[in-house]
Amino acid sequence: MNLHEVSFVSLGPGDPELITLKGLNTLRRADVIYCPATLTSSGKQLSRSADILRALDVDEQHIQYFIVPMSKDRAAAMEAYEKLSTEAAASYAAGKRIAIVAEGDAGFYSSVHYVFEQLLAQGIAVQQVAGIPAFIASGALAGLHIVSQEERLMVIPGNTTAQELSDWLDAGLVVVIMKLSQCREAVKQCMAQYNDHTFHYFENVGTPREVYIRATKELIEKEFPYFSLMIIKKTM
């Protein structure tokens, strides 16, 4: 029996047209596509990844959902990834072609890396299909040259402080903040302090609900949802 490597397929930030040809072809060949989903408090299942797959006309009969609890307590999420690893390993052993999908790039702040590492540790062949991360798509949306010439880039998750942000901006770095909702107050402190910088705000990039704002006054009172990020760059 032939065994096929498990493919971790990057879907891009939300716009189905931003998946790579390699990613799309991998999905079309897959026997099983493991797709993340969440449950609302009322029990409704939501999946941005599934929305992308449907737009790409992927056969829904091949899609198997795994539920990832949205909680700061990562124990339940890790349990979900453990279960997924077990199921994927069994499908691999059965000779099936497997794809595990992730929004953005599967190797960039993506939780599926836990599954990748567990399968790799079991001696299972894996591959990662590259994709476009949300901050790159955001730069394109804004017509923004994120870094140029000698500029340096710092990409961070949302667990940061106003002092850290100040240090990086004072050092001349362009700063990208993923998971922006985690550091709302720290960012707003810096907005008041750095009038010589532009705070480029994005949410739901690549979807019909995408938002781009660069007016500081408009951002001061705004809530930052889960799917939001910011690019902070000195105004030229």
- 119 versus 215: the higher-pLDDT residue is 119
Domains and CATH numbers, the chain: 6-129 (3.40.1010.10), 134-234 (3.30.950.10)
Pairing between β-strand 228-234 and β-strand 174-177 as defined by DSSP bridges: antiparallel
Cβ neighbour number for residue 90 with a 10 Å cutoff: 11
Give me the mean pLDDT over the 40-65 stretch.
92
- Indicate if the pLDDT at residue 76 is higher than 90: no
- Residue 201: band (very low, low, confident or very high) from pLDDT cuts 50, 70, 90: very high
End-to-end CA distance of the chain: 60
- Residue 213: band (very low, low, confident or very high) from pLDDT cuts 50, 70, 90: very high
Model pTM? 0.92
Query: In terms of Cα–Cα distance, which of 81, 134, 89 is closest to 112?
Result: 81
- Indicate if the pLDDT at residue 70 is higher than 90: no
Give me the mean pLDDT over the 52-74 stretch.
90
Least confident of 85-89, 111-115, 220-224, 231-235: 220-224
- Residue-wise pLDDT for 89-141, tens only, equals 999 999 999 999 999 999 999 989 999 999 999 999 999 999 999 999 999 99
Average pLDDT, the chain: 94
